[in-house]
Amino acid sequence: MKSIFRLLFILSIILGKIQTTHGQGGNPDAQFLSVVREYTLQKDGSQEYKESFSIKLLTHNAFHRMYGESFIVYNPQVQKLKIQRAETIMANGKKVQNPANAFNEVLPSWVSGSAAFSHLREMVVSHTGLEVGATIFLDYKIETQAGYFPYFSGAEVASLTSPAEAFKVIIRVPAGTQLNYKVLNIRLAPEITKEKNFDVYVFNFGAVPALPQESFVPRRYSYLPAVVFSTSGNRDALLGVGSVTDAQLPPDAIRAVRELKEKAQDTPSLVAAVRNMVANELALIQVKPVYTGFKMRNLREIWESRSGTMAEKAYLLAALLREADLNATPVFALPSNVVLADLLPASLIEDFYVKTEVDGLPEILLSPISASTRDERPYLFGMSIFGKGRNGKMERTDIHPVNSEYRVEGALNIDTGIAVSGNIKVKAEGIFHPFFDLIKDKNALATTLKNIQGDKTEVTLQRSNPRRVEGSISLSEHKGLKKKGDVILLEIPHATSGVDSWNARVLTSARDVPFSLPFFVLEEYKYTITLPEGWELITPEYTREVKKDFGGVSLKLSMKGRTLEIYQAIEFIEKEISVLNYPSLREILNTWYDPGLQVLVFRKH
């Protein structure tokens, strides 16, 4: 028995030592001396992007693994790339010009195997004369034909892969053109001047840090200094985003929908079947909308190629659901804090979903690229979704906090054969609710709870809709008990997709950026366990509680006669935890993950 507690004690010491290591420390591998990014809107509607930077290499790792090459993606059908400067100044001052064979056009790896996007190119610039102390200089521009993008827009985060001594964003628009912009997470006003026939906006961020390498980092535009801009504030200008030239489904697609409709037992199972077909049977082409001019192929091409971008798969999924006589609208997401009444940065559009309804219940969001068992809303707090409304106008919907709750009450019995039986009541919503899995098999409810899977279970559902499920799990001959020497161990059953799944058991002792939790959460477990005659609880009774404004944890274990009473709960009502509150968050999570509080140890005489 002493060996088990010694093992738990040593484990806690090891975790503690790991957690005292600060993840952001150390000297950088390289230092940007200057980075300037320029956006220009010409009077004829064409656009130009120019980037120039110089970076000093400080370690061998900098040029062996980080900055030996630069990669520039563009579309030669509508864009022209011009390299204006590519050279290295070595530590001794010698200038090394990039030779002709240092510039090589290749197909971007993420379009490999897709003929539809094989026209895209990636210029690989191999830098020469590299050594510790050398400085790389690169200056290039991309000219884009008028009409390729829906309008002029852009976004820049003032943080790079290495720290920079100077970072500047310059925006030029024809004189008199309204430029809508917003500076995020820093107080900074642009210097506005006139240059020939242009109004020029200069955002000088000065010295900027490297992008944080920590885990659980918030979305960049929620906490890093940044600027977003556009010349359009009209939401309807976004109607062209992801537009298709032909929205007519081909006969094979219509036939596939009809077959699924004939097999489906109800509306939810039909929605799941159509979504799974698009998610699983059509390959995902990871091309961002900015590289396609925010345009898509027609539905026939998407279907017959058996592949599509996230945007294309969303529009195809919506069309297939409509063919099945269901309401469905393709939508895309933007960070809420970058969108104003007169500011719509189309360049940030990347993620697409499908909004639909199931049996008249509140609408849900489907992923077109994943056969997820859940509504996508709990993962999208802080985002706004845009889609065409019934009036033909673009509509915005802000994603508000979605409760993800998992409440369990269980009355269990252990028999002399070290098997467990009893009944467990479960209430689940949000990310804990496997709605589409339950359509196929009610026993999916049992898979939401760890340490009871694979046992003889019988599930009864009292209530199930896209928002929540309530049911009970009857358990018999559970083999979750483990015999170790002269003792028996039982891990307290928790949710499979809850805080235990966050991979946050090892945390640094300090942090430089806010900690972004995966989702809002409340987990609560109430168990009673009746022990057989002759059994002894070795685990000491305990009460642990940490409560803060943003969340807390409560763990209690007590013994009354032969009945063990367990209460465990953890809750977070804020999703982003400040650096100031990080020590308290760490205390909460460390308490929850403490193996001495999650594993019960018994001995039978």
pLDDT score of 300 more than 90: yes
Same domain, 534 and 434: yes
Same domain, 391 and 501: no
Same domain, 473 and 422: yes
Residue 5 lies in a domain: no
Tokens found for residue 431? 């990310």
Average pLDDT on 289-300 reads 91
Average pLDDT on 58-77 reads 95
How does residue 1 score in pLDDT terms, banded at 50, 70 and 90? Answer: very low
Same domain, 538 and 470: yes
pLDDT score of 265 more than 70: yes
Whether the CB-CB separation of 306 and 279 falls below 8 Å is answered with no
pLDDT score of 4 more than 60: no
pLDDT score of 368 more than 90: yes
Q: What are phi and psi of 596, to 5 degrees?
A: -70, -15
pLDDT score of 20 more than 70: no
pLDDT number for residue 187: 95
Q: What are phi and psi of 60, to 5 degrees?
A: -65, -35
pLDDT number for residue 56: 97
pLDDT digits (tens, 9 = 90+) for 176-225: 999 999 999 999 999 999 999 999 999 999 999 999 988 999 988 889 99
Of 354, 383, 398, the one marking the end of a domain is: 398
Residue 276 lies in a domain: yes
> What is the domain-level CATH number for residue 114?
2.60.40.3140
Residues 6+ apart with CB under 8 A from 327: 321, 356, 357
Q: How far apart (Å, rounded) are the C-alpha atoms in residues 365 and 436?
A: 13
Same domain, 339 and 413: no
Residue 23 lies in a domain: no
pLDDT score of 11 more than 50: no
Tokens found for residue 271? 């929605």
Average pLDDT on 578-602 reads 95
pLDDT number for residue 544: 97
Q: How far apart (Å, rounded) are the C-alpha atoms in residues 239 and 333?
A: 13
> What is the domain-level CATH number for residue 482?
2.60.120.1130
Percent of the chain at pLDDT exceeding 90: 69
Of 197, 214, 231, the one marking the end of a domain is: 231
Same domain, 312 and 424: no
Residue 261 lies in a domain: yes
pLDDT number for residue 14: 37
Same domain, 343 and 455: no
pTM above 0.85, yes or no: yes
pLDDT digits (tens, 9 = 90+) for 107-156: 999 998 889 999 999 999 999 999 999 999 999 999 999 999 988 999 99
Whether the CB-CB separation of 576 and 222 falls below 8 Å is answered with yes
Same domain, 548 and 428: yes
pLDDT number for residue 390: 82
pLDDT number for residue 10: 38
pLDDT number for residue 362: 67
* b/e per residue 215-232 (b: at least 16 CB within 10 A): ebbbebbbbbbbbbbbbb
pLDDT number for residue 18: 35
Whether the CB-CB separation of 555 and 567 falls below 8 Å is answered with yes
Q: What is residue 198's three-state secondary structure?
A: strand
> What is the domain-level CATH number for residue 255?
3.10.620.30
Same domain, 410 and 520: yes
Using alpha carbons only, give the angle 353, 356, 360 rounded to the nearest 5 degrees: 160
Residue 19 lies in a domain: no
Average pLDDT on 554-561 reads 96
CB atoms within 10 A of CB 429: 23
pLDDT number for residue 76: 97
| Burial class, 154, CB count within 10 angstroms (exposed 0-12 / middle 13-18 / buried 19+) | buried
Full DSSP string of 224-271: S-EEEEES---GGGGGGTTB-S--PPPHHHHHHHHHHHHH-SSHHHHH
Residue 14 lies in a domain: no
Using alpha carbons only, give the angle 225, 227, 229 rounded to the nearest 5 degrees: 165
Number of domains present in the structure of the chain: 3
Same domain, 351 and 413: no
pLDDT score of 604 more than 50: yes
Same domain, 204 and 291: no
pLDDT number for residue 466: 80
Q: What average pLDDT is seen over the chain?
A: 89
pLDDT number for residue 470: 95
Of 375, 398, 421, the one marking the end of a domain is: 398
pLDDT score of 321 more than 70: yes
Whether the CB-CB separation of 313 and 301 falls below 8 Å is answered with no
Same domain, 439 and 386: no
Residue 177 lies in a domain: yes
One-letter-per-residue 3-state SS of 553-605: EEEEEEEECCEEEEEEEEEECCCEECCCCHHHHHHHHHHHHCHHHHEEEEEEC
Using alpha carbons only, give the angle 126, 132, 133 rounded to the nearest 5 degrees: 100
- Report which DSSP code applies to 451: T
CA nearest neighbour of 314 among 267, 269, 282: 282
Tokens found for residue 427? 């209430």
Host domain of residue 339: 240-398
pLDDT digits (tens, 9 = 90+) for 532-556: 988 999 999 999 999 999 999 999 9
Residue 332 lies in a domain: yes
